[in-house]
Structure 1
Amino acid sequence: MTHQAESDMSSTTIGDPAATGFELHRGRGRFNAAFFAAMGPYLDSAMRPRKERVFAGLAGTVVELGPGVGANLPYLPAGTTLVGIEPNRYMHDRLGAAAAEWGIALDLRERLAEHTGLPDQSVDAVISSLVLCSVGDVDAALAEVRRILRPGGTFRFVEHVVAPSGTPTRASQRMLRQPWAWTFEGCSCERDLEGAVRSAGFADVEVEHYRIHTPFLPFNTHIAGVARA
């Protein structure tokens, strides 16, 4: 990372949620923070083999889109600096406590994935898990990832995606679309995120499809992969 990028990342940016473009809902914001604190270990256990693969070798400074309450901190070596792009301030206290527990230096920024505020070509790695489903503009968020990655840098992702047409999972995603999105702050279980990543202009994209088994049927179809700038 360049000296300029390090300087720009050195301070915590916490601002008015209205200024970020993120509509912070008092009830849902708190609910999601509590939900992922409680259910995170259970959900993470199903995704762990893929996270271990795609997050392998991370070190130094890592940017995470939507780190939430810190589900991915165990995959980072102690001493890593995590630049957390997290607009839901109800996640912040838990995230800070978890970062301290895992020995991660946290640079927390209350911003959107579409507008990180980081310099062009300033970082080597960006990660996300269970985030691209809920960003307001997936294409803009991926363009932002490409903008801030150095040539050869990597975007590593573990996300849930739309199920194949005609399957029971796809039917449940369609049926529960609106209540699901309302509960989980805009989360869509019907996004073709593989297509979005492949269309975003990365030099190379590797994707694995897999399925997890949870009571949350609309959530069970997943991808994991690495895109290189």
Structure 2
Amino acid sequence: MDNDTTTPDTAPAEPDTSSDPHFELHSARGPFNAAFFRVMGPYLESSLRRRKRQVFADLPRTVVEIGPGVGANLRYLGAGDTLVAIEPNRYMHDQLRDAARSHGVNLDLRERMAEQTGLPDHSVDTVISSLVLCSVQDPAAVLAEIRRILKPGGTFRFVEHVVADPGTPTRAAQRILRRPWAWTFEGCSCERDLEGCVRAAGFDTVAVEHYRVHTPFLPFNTHIAGTARA
């Protein structure tokens, strides 16, 4: 397990991981996705920035992020803040470390699956995610894990792409491209009703905004942003 040493005393302790689920590294897709999100990051950020600024406003000094990838959301943390990064894909790690240093953020990097973060019950104020729930193996298990680690009143803040409405051209594209899309982007599904998943996860309150981005990646263009409170 990879755990950077720049974590302050306030970060949750990290237990043994020997029985955790295993992330299967792929020697071709892993490096491709790390390079893709490094190159395409500014373009994607320009499409998502307005909602991210709303959802990720006023984050606490220590934040847990599931699937931070190469660090696209570090810009929403302040210098000296701590990111507890749940990132099982080692091909992302070097770029994530570099981005954390560039932003002056303390990085606690944990090579774990989002279904089992290893963090204590009710120990976290805020969990964030963007473009991640589409690719986890079990969204319901991940959301249950987020609820488990959040303190009462803590927030899960998310910006995700979701299934389009039935009968639309975007929905047709999602259906046609679902298999090559999932293979290329390491299990990413463009057909998940993630709003339904979040609402069914047992949070006290859920606020969701639907919106559309306009990119050449048609299956990717339907989105939600919101906050769920434990």
User: What TM-score range do you get, normalising by the shorter chain?
Assistant: over 0.9
Residue matched to 1:139:
140
- Contact 2:20–2:116 under 8 Å retained in 1: no
Superposition pairs for residues 44-193 of structure 1, below 5 Å? 44-193=45-194
Whole-Å separation in 2 of the counterparts to 1:183 and 1:145: 27
**Contact 1:20 1:87 (C-alpha < 8 Å) held by counterparts:** no
| Structure 1 or 2: more helix by fraction | 1
Give the counterpart letter for 1:176 in structure 2. L
Structure 2 partner of 1:6: 11
RMSD over aligned Cα atoms = 1.9
Q: Distance in 2 between matches of 1:184 and 1:45?
A: 20
Give the match for residue 5 of structure 2: none
CA distance in 2, matches of 1:98, 1:20: 27
The superposition leaves residues 8-67 of structure 1 with CA deviations (integer Å, 9 ceiling, x where unpaired) of 05x9x9x89x96411110110000000000001100110000000000000211000000
What is the rounded CA distance, in whole Å, between the counterparts of 2:78 and 2:199 in structure 1?
29
Q: Is residue 75–residue 103 contact of structure 2 (8 Å, CA) maintained in 1?
A: yes
Measured in 2, the distance between the counterparts of 1:5 and 1:148 equals: 15
Change in CA separation of 1:75 and 1:6 when aligned onto 2, cut-off 3 Å: closer
* Structure 1 pair 86–117 and aligned structure 2 pair: CA distance change class (3 A): same
C-alpha deviation, 1:78, in angstroms: 1.2
The DSSP-based 3-state class of the residue aligned with 2:42 is: helix
- Partners of 1:59 and 1:77 within 8 A in 2: no
Deviations 1:150-171 (A, max 9, x none): 0000000000000000000000
User: Quick one: which amino acid aligns to residue 160 of structure 1?
Assistant: H
Q: Which amino acid aligns with 1:6?
A: A
- 8 Å CA contact 1:85–1:108 kept in 2: the answer is yes
Q: Does structure 1 conserve the Cα–Cα contact (< 8 Å) formed by 2:38 and 2:70?
A: yes
Contact 1:20 1:110 in 2 (8 A): no
Q: Give the secondary structure class of the aligned counterpart of 1:49.
A: helix
* Distance in 1 of aligned mates of 2:196 and 2:68: 23
- Please give the secondary structure, in 2, of the residue aligned with 1:8: coil
Alpha-carbon distance in structure 1 between the residues aligned to 2:88 and 2:68: 10
Consecutive unaligned residues of structure 2, counting only runs of 5 or more, are 1-7
* Matched residue, 2:3: none
- Match for residue 207 of structure 1? 208
Secondary structure at the aligned position of 1:227 is classed as strand
SS of corresponding position for 2:108: strand
Whole-Å separation in 1 of the counterparts to 2:166 and 2:12? 48
Q: TM-score, normalised by structure 2?
A: 0.93
Task: Tell whether the 8 Å contact from 2:60 to 2:125 is kept in structure 1 after alignment.
Answer: no
Give the number of equivalent residue pairs.
223
Q: Percent identity?
A: 71
Letter in 1 for 2:76: Y
